[in-house]
Structure 1
């Protein structure tokens, strides 16, 4: 509390009469411009004197230190990202320290000779080229305090050695920042990777620093907002050599949110191991829970080591980009391929629902071919008289030519209804999975053909769509989702993030139609083209009833090149899992995709 002072009048002091403010101003008011000028000069002198006192006395010491090179600096402390775990809480990545050697241009010696000597010393200690360092630093503003990394991803031992050799030098910093170590084998397309933020990304992410890392693909990209931490930092005072002399304030970095996925590591590894053993050009695996849409496994071949993109080996990175098999393509999500006969259960459902056929409709397919004008549409073998269940089980092309485009006693769905039902099964649109880069697939129509080629639609075009050929393109993920709808009557949105609420849509198809189709797929296992799946057993030896469909898709006009497919769900009476395997240029589906599906089902039920 400030003291109060009192003032007393001495007897011999001259009495000064009191005036109010108006009277005082009137008595003292100047009568000439010279008096006004004097008052103005008086006030200017007072202000200048006060400023001089403030600079020389009050702030003199502080300004002296600043003149000596002391600066206030904010040092960013990057936050670690959240951990990605599988459905059983097994970590798929971990955070590790990344060591880097950096220079701060604004802290380097201003004298050119001293700067040259320092850069020469840094080059000698780090094994770098001094002229290259000179050019690199020369491109930056001399007043910039943003560190320029000159040697990235160095070992811990090397970082310690550099700190000993260069730790006292102005403008030289050994950085320790968090980065990733991808642990899981075969998850590269699913998990994705991180990388340094690009100029384009930086422009659309105003709350990022240009030195930040960001998710580039997979879960790392899709769930960037969850996984990304919040950087912290310290505000410090540094001297002319860039050395910290005082801590002013600190904000601790906040780790990103952990993300738990729906995938099962053991199932994923079993599928990828089988896929690698068989596929030569490429392939994909997908496993879903058809009741919830949970993605239990999702893998693409060839895959790649995601750590390569973090290690900074430019040759290794370029070899991935140059690989003719395109390992960066996420085939189950982004790839679009002709489906072959795996499409037939969906067309059978459509034909039964539309009344194009009934479960009792029978067609004599013993000719093994249909001739339309100058064109022949052949089956892969002769089947005799068949109904829809038998046609699914034996993959009867003639029957499905008729279902799609009409033949003898079957009128056929026609291209418009095929397109409508493709959409109902989600085949001509994105599934909505929480991963980037998804394809729409493609279902051709007469309008599309007219616009694209100027030609009209022929019945042969419909026949091709009826057996999953021609311009029809689907992704393995779309096929797994559509098969889940056959298995349960509901179309589930695939999802990677665990505990997300399931998104289910009732398939607009009669329950009995789906039952007939499931019967046909079960018959494909008990006595048809998917017979290798009839011996899937639980851990205690109990038989698991599986329903399945094989597919062999011709690639373009080359009959010698085919993709192999197999799709399956189990158990037959209470579907818990859908599995789809695709082998690019693998030949017949039962021979190439079949063993992969078998390995995955056995892994799932045999635990």
Structure 2
């Protein structure tokens, strides 16, 4: 064999070696990386499967990590495998009689794919259907994601269909999880912000029918109920307390048509309840589409003029800067005032600063604002968190309408001193602002999410408590706390006093310019007074006043949540 023949043989050998090496690598990828996926596909081709989860997806839990805020539940449902039912008409007739439905209605399911039927079942109906022993029809418990009264709907958000093919492509690239055009995805709230983590790769429980090529049940295998782990989905643990949330929502259903309530843990800044009205059911969006443009708006994080609650900032600035003491005297002329009239039209006459705070006297705070100047008020409002819309674990886009610099624009200062004009704040921000007083002058960032947990119970991501910073001196905070107690003991917020615990806070009545004699009524306060546990902010749109409309709701909520659960 000459040299050139040997060279050709060597080249041929290497080409064959490269070919087989490539083939081996490809087989290894199929077996080791995609093997489980191909095995699953092969199993699906020779079986029929029905998920026993209405929506395979991670849970959104309250702060205990146990209770789902969607209030999901397990209920018996009919599982139907129409492909293996020989006499569909007879089977549909029998089920229709038991369910009290028309046969034609049932036949639409019998002529479709395998699924669970949407009908709730009584114990009697369950027994009767089981006694029929129809091959391809069985009863299993289905986990329904939404109960009849889900909690914190605006915070949880809702799911919706994938609307466009480009959107489907984006989702499939999001985190390696596979989406189908029929999947439901997060459209708002926590469901939207944590779509990547909540998305399930597969149901954890399902009914499986083993069939041959003729769609007949394989003897000895039949229909089984199986479980499988889903390492893809994660649960989201919030700071909300489901019992406090339920209490707040129950009271709002009776007392508040439009508005918001926020309950904050006074020690940590954790948000224990966030309730908004009007409400919607996240499991049935269609029912709420005619409820008005703000049905899906989370009023807890929406901007409003805070009214006289903003006087807390003006008072804090004046006390901290040494411009006023509790016993300093002022004169209120009511409607005759030069800069701004008082809500008490005859005027309060001679009045001390502490009395002016308790009675929410407008002219006194306008006078203090002029002495302070706009930049000082902006500085303190910013320090109290009234320009930070950040909530830990809840990445809402910033509303650019909130701009404290507008206080310094011409003709804005006096109106700003009473929380009108350009001053805007959310109920969450006002809760955090008042919490500064409770925590001896320290601002704590509000938090909504504690962390994410995988199927094995391991926390995969933690959201630590928020950063804190000193805003005012402890002595100033102590004095403000005393003044807030005067509001509920002797002032315009008497209806907010909680007997047996003592409560303190500030009213607000923000004019809304709707041509009616109504206001956005506020009360933001805390209880118990000596060792505060909760900061609660109540907003009632189109109310009479903060003291008349919002304060009694504050009292009822605080009384209810201070009672042992």
TM-score by length of 2: 0.70
What's 1:506 paired with? 469
What's 2:179 paired with? 209
Q: Match of 2:556, SS?
A: helix
What's 1:32 paired with? none
Question: Alpha-carbon deviation of 1:531?
Answer: 1.8
Question: Alpha-carbon deviation of 1:529?
Answer: 1.1
Deviations 1:492-551 (A, max 9, x none): 2222345753113213322222222222111112211112344422xxxxxx23221111
Q: Match of 1:371, SS?
A: coil
Does 1:519 pair with 2:479? no
Does 1:362 pair with 2:362? no
Aligned 8 A contact 2:497 2:555 in 1: no
Deviations 1:26-77 (A, max 9, x none): 9xxxxxxxxxxxxxxxxxxxxxxxxxxxxxxxxxxxxxxxxxxx96689695
Q: Match of 2:281, SS?
A: coil
Give the one of 547, 563, 573 matched to 2:520: 563
Does 1:254 pair with 2:219? no
Aligned 8 A contact 1:294 1:496 in 2: yes
Does 1:495 pair with 2:447? yes
Q: Match of 2:525, SS?
A: strand
Q: Match of 2:275, SS?
A: strand
Does 1:554 pair with 2:554? no
What's 2:317 paired with? 350
Does 1:327 pair with 2:292? no
Give the one of 145, 150, 154 matched to 1:189: 154
Aligned 8 A contact 1:476 1:582 in 2: yes
What's 2:360 paired with? 395
Quote the Cα distance in structure 2 between the aligned partners of 1:358 and 1:297: 36
Tell me which moved more, 380-389 or 588-597: 380-389
Does 1:230 pair with 2:201? yes
Give the one of 473, 477, 480 matched to 2:431: 480
Question: Alpha-carbon deviation of 1:282?
Answer: 0.4
Question: Alpha-carbon deviation of 1:364?
Answer: 2.1
Deviations 1:466-485 (A, max 9, x none): 11112322211111111111
What's 1:380 paired with? 344
Deviations 1:575-599 (A, max 9, x none): 2210111111011111111111101
Structure 1: which 5+ residue stretches go unaligned? 1-20, 27-69, 109-117, 138-146, 310-316, 450-455, 538-543
Question: Alpha-carbon deviation of 1:368?
Answer: 4.7
What's 1:529 paired with? 492
Aligned 8 A contact 2:48 2:114 in 1: no
What's 2:72 paired with? 94
Measured at CA, do residues 208 and 355 of structure 1 come closer, stay the same or move farther in structure 2, by a change above 3 Å?
Answer: farther
Q: Match of 2:118, SS?
A: strand
Quote the Cα distance in structure 1 between the aligned partners of 2:144 and 2:359: 52
Structure 2: which 5+ residue stretches go unaligned? 7-43, 97-101, 452-462
Q: Match of 1:592, SS?
A: helix
Aligned 8 A contact 1:564 1:593 in 2: yes
Deviations 1:408-436 (A, max 9, x none): xxx2322x333333222222231314346
RMSD, aligned CA: 4.7
Q: Match of 2:381, SS?
A: helix
Question: Alpha-carbon deviation of 1:343?
Answer: 1.1
Quote the Cα distance in structure 2 between the aligned partners of 1:356 and 1:559: 37
**What does 1:70-469 align with in structure 2 at a 5 Å threshold?**
79=56, 81-82=58-59, 84-85=61-62, 87=64, 89-92=66-69, 93-96=71-74, 153-154=118-119, 178-182=143-147, 184=149, 186-199=151-164, 202-206=168-172, 207-210=177-180, 211-231=182-202, 240-241=213-214, 252-254=228-230, 256-279=233-256, 281-307=257-283, 309=284, 317-324=285-292, 326-333=294-301, 335-359=302-326, 361-366=328-333, 368-371=335-338, 377-381=341-345, 382-404=347-369, 406=370, 411-414=371-374, 416-435=375-394, 437=396, 440=399, 442-444=401-403, 457-459=409-411, 461-469=412-420
Aligned 8 A contact 1:222 1:434 in 2: no
Measured at CA, do residues 559 and 302 of structure 1 come closer, stay the same or move farther in structure 2, by a change above 3 Å?
Answer: closer
Quote the Cα distance in structure 1 between the aligned partners of 2:376 and 2:216: 74
Question: Alpha-carbon deviation of 1:237?
Answer: 9.2
What's 2:12 paired with? none
Measured at CA, do residues 412 and 476 of structure 1 come closer, stay the same or move farther in structure 2, by a change above 3 Å?
Answer: same
Quote the Cα distance in structure 1 between the aligned partners of 2:431 and 2:400: 13
Does 1:604 pair with 2:558? no
TM-score by length of 1: 0.66
Quote the Cα distance in structure 1 between the aligned partners of 2:143 and 2:263: 33
Measured at CA, do residues 445 and 534 of structure 1 come closer, stay the same or move farther in structure 2, by a change above 3 Å?
Answer: closer
Q: Match of 2:337, SS?
A: strand
Deviations 1:234-289 (A, max 9, x none): 99997554567699xx992428545544333443333333333333x402111101
Question: Alpha-carbon deviation of 1:554?
Answer: 0.5
Measured at CA, do residues 536 and 183 of structure 1 come closer, stay the same or move farther in structure 2, by a change above 3 Å?
Answer: farther
Quote the Cα distance in structure 1 between the aligned partners of 2:75 and 2:170: 27
